[in-house]
Structure 1
Amino acid sequence: MSETILGFNKSNVILAAGIAGAAFLGYCIYFDHKRINAPDYKEKIRQKRRAQAGTAGVAARRPAAAGNGEAVPDFNDAAQMQRFFLQEVQIGEELMNAGNVEEGAVHIANAIMLCGDSQQLLSIFQQTLSEEQFRAVVQQLPSTRERLADMFGQKADAAENEPPLVQYLGDGPPPAQIQELIDDTDDLE
């Protein structure tokens, strides 16, 4: 067996590796000490924990939108309802972009049902979402109405007695799901 590694004495290579390891460990200890003793260290830690708690809070609010009986915003507080609406749109879009179309459709349908002008919002989503995603949203609308009525109690039914109006803006005849919604909302006779 050879006593050299790449032309260097084996004991010298081991000594150099030991010195490099000790220098790296010293470097880590020095900068950790410097970081901990920084004047804004505790504030940075608090901010990081708040940010993590905020991210966990959004994840914890997702089941509430799905109707698991968790805390929901106060129906009478417009600011809370607006935040809930925007949160539902954001979560729905994020889930759809991640490929989770069904769960994203639930959140988008929640937003549509909470919107004051649901027909306009539905037409916006028709233009911005793919056909598959839009079809999934339309399929969620009837069950979403019931789920939101359960979440918000009788106040949701009193606030919106009519189902959303649907206007098809595409070329040719509308898909069957949209035609059913159009036929269901046409109570002019």
Structure 2
Amino acid sequence: MPCVRTLLGLLAAVAAGGAVAFLGYCVYFDWKRRDDPAFKRRLRDKRRARQQGADDPGAQLWDPARNEKLQELFLQEIRMGELWLSRGEHRMGVEHLSNALSVCGQPRELLKIFKHTLPPKVFEMLLHKIPLICQQFEADMNEQEYLEDDPD
């Protein structure tokens, strides 16, 4: 049995040494990468490009891929809202309709349509939900700005 313990001890030492060597390898090359002036320049360029993209909202607004996804989300939320309302689940229906309202490009027009098509009770519930939508949108925007300002 002492032979097995010795062998296991030797294997554990080799594994630990390999882990330490790998960690040292990672730290060394990360240090070399961060010290490289070209890396710092590329990082600054990426940050400037991201900042310019954030400063120019028109560039993001007319991104066709993004608009298609928003349109799909909008239609899906309208369908889900209609489905829940048809089942008599007003709370869930209002939840989905408010999601559709938050991604809609013309929320005032959509509210006018909702006013004429929804039952008064449901429309009232939706109107009470609007301030919560605005607060959530502001919180999401603040979080996004915080993440963009983060240097790492």
**TM-score, L = length of structure 1:** 0.39
Bigger relative contact order (CA 8 A; separation at least 6)? 1
Question: TM-score scaled by structure 2?
Answer: 0.48
